[in-house]
């Protein structure tokens, strides 16, 4: 292929062509060309979005050499990481690609010389909201690091037509608006319809003897759907590697349409098309709690089957034996959502490729590794046997077979321990029968990991205890990380510039280098610059808040921020209890010398999660009272920023003074927002939960505001019988806060509105807000005091940043690569070039 071109070209730039050239003149002409030839517009009639698209294509053109050469390199027998995830929350692509290509400044110049504003074009981009929160964003950070570390990788997922809903707040309530991110087209993806695969559903399995007399099983489905891949390049930072994010879209199989059409059932054929295409229409907007919806299981199976078939095809195209599958691919299961892959790979190997069971099982176990992302019992995925068997009859048989063989081993190890047997079984038989996806993932993988040290330890002691006892060697911890490219270089250009001036730019790919900032914490003029930058960044956020919400906040006040999904275990309402305490103190003593604060919240609630929506309503209601009370003016403001997403995160994290990480100990598996805040110089107020524990270890206890019960204390108090009402009764200030909410003060006299929330706190309080209240309030007081000593606060802020090296996703990916995937970097050379290629 391409041999004639290869012969005639060298990797040097031969001509400045429109698609690869980087001079300002060429970039300007490329922009104009793309506007005309792709958008079909003259400058006079082009919209901002047309210009954005033209610019996006201009940038995409300049990364195609790297992308195609990367794909080419991986055909040469290298081990590839396949990251299977139902969510990839990659965020806007334009600026990230400009930064990773190292052409931001040039593009800005070209755009400005064309009479446009780069910032305005950047703001045109609709972010692909193909995830709910931390789990999906983690997958995106990992892709960034895989490429930057030059590790061969493919991300496999679903191309949802509608991503996470857009959130509006009307009368204090969350309203969900459909996310039409594809409506104006997506310049970053390339469809590959010729690489489609077929995915079966339903029907039955048939047992038969093949031509050699071997016993075999085949699946006779009653429905087949086509999976079409859409590829997005994931460029590493200033390397040639551009890995692929391959997302699958469901389409109808044409032959099915024809069949129905031929018998005159035109509408039936159309129906089939609609049903097929519904599969990848929408992202389920629940994080943590998974409802057992049939369409969701279809989505999971669909993308996993597409991915595994794609891998097999890739392997067979290189003429390598399928029996080396596990040496060619390391497949990571991002939570249990893709766990059906274990049964699917067995089916593909045994039924379709006629490999015997034991060999197939060896391949399967050595291929998969499983990451658990939550300890919440309600998040453990399980599917009713009836539903499962109806949709995936052959997989159910395979799971039974895996289970029988596994339980035989369990019996051998623990004779007569029926409890063990029933807990380890892939089938839950305690009532209605279910397939347990976590058990399938554990049995079918060679490695299992949690996402922070505490979380991994708790996994071993609680939800996965029996598995840990059965195969301890499979367990490992890999603490989460975030990419400094997006979460610092892209979102905090001012701080990036200052840091780079002082210590060079190596920290961008070696985050431990930030340690060099430690000594500068003692340099008064450096501290002054640091403070100045935080101030300007807060000013930007204040301007945004004013423009969007018409609320004036003082950038000199302490910006106290909690942005993340709304969930009871994350305890945004504990934060609200502090807000009201703060308010009451001010009201009772007008002259109180208080440190002015701006309390900022943001986050989406799952549409069916009533309590989470009520928490939003409470925040907005409190904001309305507080912000309009002249008694507290200039000393406190409360803001709920609607529609928190990646784009907004990029504005918000850099502007924080204080990061709220206040989940009940033992509930937040890791958290990654905690890392983004600290990396951008916020100090943390937090519990000993998830990665907070390690952040505190790294930055030093003296630079972290710790409060609250430990996990052991939480368990202990639960076991002894927790009585939240006693805390209410015995704490006058807490009682005043709760009574004020109950009185209707924040709800125009409506005493019923927040009753479900208050009753829950007083009589259940599963997340122990009342037990942690006093400790939280006292620690918030320490925060206020500390903020008054601006020099020392700045010192702490610098030290936080200086010690965040551990939380780069590059470190996490290196650990996965060494401990779990056994893969090495494979640098990409730009060998095959198109005419004029650089």
Instruction: Give contact residues for ligand GL7 (rule: CB under 6 A).
Output: 132-135, 138, 287-288, 373-374, 379, 451, 480, 668-672, 690
Least separation in angstroms between residue 153's CB and ligand GL7 is: 18
Beta strands in 687-751 (DSSP E): 705-706
Intra-chain end-to-end CA distance of the chain, in Å: 20
Beta strands in 292-359 (DSSP E): 329-334
- Closest Cα to residue 807, out of 558, 565, 480? 480
State the catalytic residue, choosing from 326, 455, 486, 565: 565
- The 3-state DSSP composition of the chain as helix, strand, coil percent (nearest 5) reads 50, 15, 35
- Closest Cα to residue 87, out of 226, 201, 245, 243? 245
Nearest residue (CB) to ligand GL7, 91 versus 724: 91
Question: Collapsing DSSP states into helix, strand and coil, what is residue 168?
Answer: strand
How far is CA 777 from its chain centroid?
31
Least separation in angstroms between residue 454's CB and ligand GL7 is: 11
Q: Would you mind telling me the total number of residues written for the chain in this entry?
A: 838
564 carries an active-site annotation: yes
Nearest residue (CB) to ligand GL7, 97 versus 480: 480
Nearest residue (CB) to ligand GL7, 438 versus 758: 438
Position with the least CB separation from ligand GL7: 134
State the catalytic residue, choosing from 66, 570, 604, 637: 570
Least separation in angstroms between residue 133's CB and ligand GL7 is: 5
Q: Is the Cα torsion angle 398, 399, 400, 402 positive or negative in sign?
A: positive
Nearest residue (CB) to ligand GL7, 40 versus 292: 292
Least separation in angstroms between residue 690's CB and ligand GL7 is: 5
Question: Collapsing DSSP states into helix, strand and coil, what is residue 798?
Answer: helix
Beta strands in 605-702 (DSSP E): 636-641, 658-661, 683-686
Q: Which helix (H) or strand (E) holds 175?
A: strand 173-177
Give the number of other Cβ atoms within 10 Å of residue 290's Cβ. 20
Q: How far is CA 735 from CA 300, 447, 590, in A?
A: 47, 49, 21
119-125 — which CB contacts under 8 Å span 24+ positions? 120/48, 121/48, 121/51, 121/52, 121/55, 121/94, 122/52, 122/92, 122/94, 122/95, 124/48, 124/49, 124/51, 124/52, 125/52, 125/56, 125/92, 125/93, 125/94
**Burial profile 784-809: b = 16 or more Cβ within 10 angstroms, e = fewer:** bebbeeeeebbbbbbbbbbbbbbbbb
Q: Are the beta carbons of 463 and 376 closer than 8 angstroms?
A: no
Least separation in angstroms between residue 687's CB and ligand GL7 is: 13
Least separation in angstroms between residue 179's CB and ligand GL7 is: 17
- Structure tokens that stand for 754 in this block: 């927040």
Report angle CA 774, 778, 781 to the nearest 5 degrees: 145
β-strands 242-252, 427-428 pairing: unpaired
Nearest residue (CB) to ligand GL7, 133 versus 603: 133
Q: Are the beta carbons of 79 and 329 closer than 8 angstroms?
A: yes
Least separation in angstroms between residue 87's CB and ligand GL7 is: 8
The Cα 51–Cα 187 span in angstroms is 12
538 carries an active-site annotation: no
Least separation in angstroms between residue 677's CB and ligand GL7 is: 13
Q: Is the Cα torsion angle 522, 526, 530, 531 positive or negative in sign?
A: positive
State the catalytic residue, choosing from 249, 347, 373, 597: 373
Least separation in angstroms between residue 760's CB and ligand GL7 is: 21
Nearest residue (CB) to ligand GL7, 231 versus 668: 668
Classify residue 829 by its DSSP letter. P
Question: Collapsing DSSP states into helix, strand and coil, what is residue 264?
Answer: coil
Nearest residue (CB) to ligand GL7, 605 versus 770: 605
570 carries an active-site annotation: yes
Residue tagged 């039955």 (tokens): 204
Report angle CA 543, 548, 554 to the nearest 5 degrees: 35
Nearest residue (CB) to ligand GL7, 475 versus 727: 475
Q: Are the beta carbons of 84 and 248 closer than 8 angstroms?
A: no
- Closest Cα to residue 137, out of 640, 660, 645, 570? 645
Least separation in angstroms between residue 185's CB and ligand GL7 is: 29
The secondary structure of 67-124 as a DSSP string is HHHHHHHTTTT--EEEEE-S-B-----HHHHHHHHT-HHHHHHHHHHTT--HHHHHTT
- Structure tokens that stand for 491 in this block: 């979102």
Nearest residue (CB) to ligand GL7, 319 versus 378: 378
State the catalytic residue, choosing from 60, 676, 696, 811: 676
720 carries an active-site annotation: no
Nearest residue (CB) to ligand GL7, 187 versus 686: 686
Nearest residue (CB) to ligand GL7, 345 versus 454: 454
Nearest residue (CB) to ligand GL7, 172 versus 671: 671
Least separation in angstroms between residue 542's CB and ligand GL7 is: 29
Nearest residue (CB) to ligand GL7, 91 versus 134: 134
State the catalytic residue, choosing from 647, 672, 779, 794: 672
Least separation in angstroms between residue 136's CB and ligand GL7 is: 7
Question: Collapsing DSSP states into helix, strand and coil, what is residue 176?
Answer: strand
The Cα 300–Cα 277 span in angstroms is 15
Q: Are the beta carbons of 240 and 265 closer than 8 angstroms?
A: no
Largest Cα–Cα distance of the chain, in whole Å? 93
Least separation in angstroms between residue 283's CB and ligand GL7 is: 12
Which residues are designated catalytic? 373, 564-565, 570, 672, 676
């Amino acid at each position: 292929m391409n041999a004639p071109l290869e012969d005639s070209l060298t990797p040097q730039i031969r001509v400045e062509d429109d698609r690869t050239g980087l001079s300002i003149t060429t970039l300007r002409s490329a922009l104009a060309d793309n506007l005309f030839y792709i958008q079909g517009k003259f400058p006079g009639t082009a919209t901002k979005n047309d210009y954005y698209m033209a610019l996006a294509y201009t940038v995409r053109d300049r990364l195609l050499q790297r992308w195609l050469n990367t794909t080419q390199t991986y055909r040469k027998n290298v081990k590839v990481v396949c990251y299977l995830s139902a969510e990839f929350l990659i965020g806007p692509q334009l600026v990230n690609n400009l930064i990773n290509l190292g052409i931001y400044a040039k593009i800005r110049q070209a755009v400005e010389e064309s009479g446009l504003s780069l910032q305005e074009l950047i703001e045109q981009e609709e972010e692909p909201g193909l995830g709910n929160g931390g789990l999906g964003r983690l997958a995106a950070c990992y892709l960034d690091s895989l490429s930057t570390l030059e590790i061969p990788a493919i991300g496999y997922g679903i191309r949802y037509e509608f991503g996470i809903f857009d959130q509006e707040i009307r009368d204090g309530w969350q309203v969900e608006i459909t996310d039409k991110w594809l409506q104006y087209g997506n310049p970053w993806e390339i469809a590959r319809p010729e690489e489609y695969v077929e995915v079966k559903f339903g029907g039955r399995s048939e047992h038969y003897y093949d031509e050699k007399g071997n016993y075999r099983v085949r699946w006779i489905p009653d429905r087949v759907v086509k999976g079409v891949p859409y590829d997005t390049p994931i460029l590493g930072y200033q390397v040639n590697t551009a890995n692929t994010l391959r997302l699958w879209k469901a389409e109808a199989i044409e032959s099915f349409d024809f069949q129905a059409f031929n018998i005159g059932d035109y509408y039936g054929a159309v129906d089939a098309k609609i049903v097929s295409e519904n599969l990848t229409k929408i992202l389920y907007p629940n994080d943590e709690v998974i409802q057992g919806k049939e369409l969701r299981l279809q989505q999971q199976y669909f993308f996993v089957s597409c991915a595994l078939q794609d891998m097999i095809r890739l392997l067979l195209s290189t003429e390598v034996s399928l029996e080396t599958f596990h040496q060619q691919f390391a497949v990571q299961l991002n939570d249990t959502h893709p766990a059906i892959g274990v049964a699917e790979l067995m089916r593909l190997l045994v039924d379709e490729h006629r490999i015997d069971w034991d060999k197939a099982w060896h391949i399967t176990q050595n291929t998969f590794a499983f990451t658990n992302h939550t300890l919440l019992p309600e998040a453990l995925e399980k599917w009713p046997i009836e539903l499962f068997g109806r949709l995936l009859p052959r997989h159910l048989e395979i799971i039974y077979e895996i289970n029988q063989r596994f339980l035989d081993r369990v019996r051998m190890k623990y004779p007569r321990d029926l409890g063990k047997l029933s807990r380890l079984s892939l089938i839950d038989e305690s009532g209605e029968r279910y397939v347990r996806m976590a058990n399938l993932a554990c049995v079918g993988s060679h490695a299992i990991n949690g996402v922070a040290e505490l979380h991994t330890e708790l996994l071993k002691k609680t939800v996965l205890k029996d598995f840990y006892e059965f195969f301890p060697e499979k367990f490992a911890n890999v603490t989460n990380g975030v990419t400094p490219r997006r979460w610092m270089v892209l979102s905090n250009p001012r701080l990036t510039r200052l840091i780079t001036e002082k210590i060079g730019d190596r920290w961008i790919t070696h985050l431990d280098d930030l340690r060099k900032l430690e000594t500068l914490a003692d340099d008064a003029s450096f501290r002054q610059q640091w403070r100045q930058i935080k101030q300007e960044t807060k000013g930007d956020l204040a301007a945004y808040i004013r423009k969007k919400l018409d609320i004036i906040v003082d950038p000199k006040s302490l910006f106290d921020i909690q942005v993340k999904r709304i969930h009871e275990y994350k305890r945004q309402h504990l934060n609200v209890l502090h807000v009201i305490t703060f308010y009451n103190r001010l009201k009772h003593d007008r002259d109180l010398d208080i440190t002015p604060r701006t309390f900022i919240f943001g986050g989406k609630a799952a549409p069916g999660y009533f309590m989470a929506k009520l928490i939003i309503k409470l925040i907005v209601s409190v904001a309305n009272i507080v912000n309009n009370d002249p008694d507290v003016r200039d000393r406190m403001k409360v803001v709920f920023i609607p529609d928190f997403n990646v784009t907004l995160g990029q504005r918000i994290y850099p502007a924080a003074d204080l990061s709220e990480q206040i989940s009940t100990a033992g509930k937040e598996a890791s958290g990654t927002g905690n890392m983004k805040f600290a990396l951008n110089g916020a100090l943390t107020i937090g519990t000993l939960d998830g990665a907070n524990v390690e952040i505190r270890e790294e930055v030093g206890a003296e630079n972290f505001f710790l409060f609250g019960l430990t996990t052991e204390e939480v368990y202990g108090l639960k076991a002894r019988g927790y009585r939240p009402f006693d805390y209410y009764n015995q704490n006058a200030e807490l009682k005043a806060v709760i009574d004020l909410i109950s009185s209707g003060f924040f709800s125009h006299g409506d005493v019923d509105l927040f009753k479900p929330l208050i009753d829950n706190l007083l009589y259940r309080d599963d997340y122990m807000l009342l037990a942690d209240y006093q400790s939280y309030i006292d620690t918030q007081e320490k925060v206020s005091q500390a903020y008054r000593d601006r020099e020392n606060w700045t010192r702490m802020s610098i030290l936080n940043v200086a010690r965040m090296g551990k939380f780069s996703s590059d470190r996490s990916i290196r650990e996965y690569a060494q401990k779990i995937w056994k893969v090495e970097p494979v640098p990409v050379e730009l060998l095959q070039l198109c005419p004029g290629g650089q």
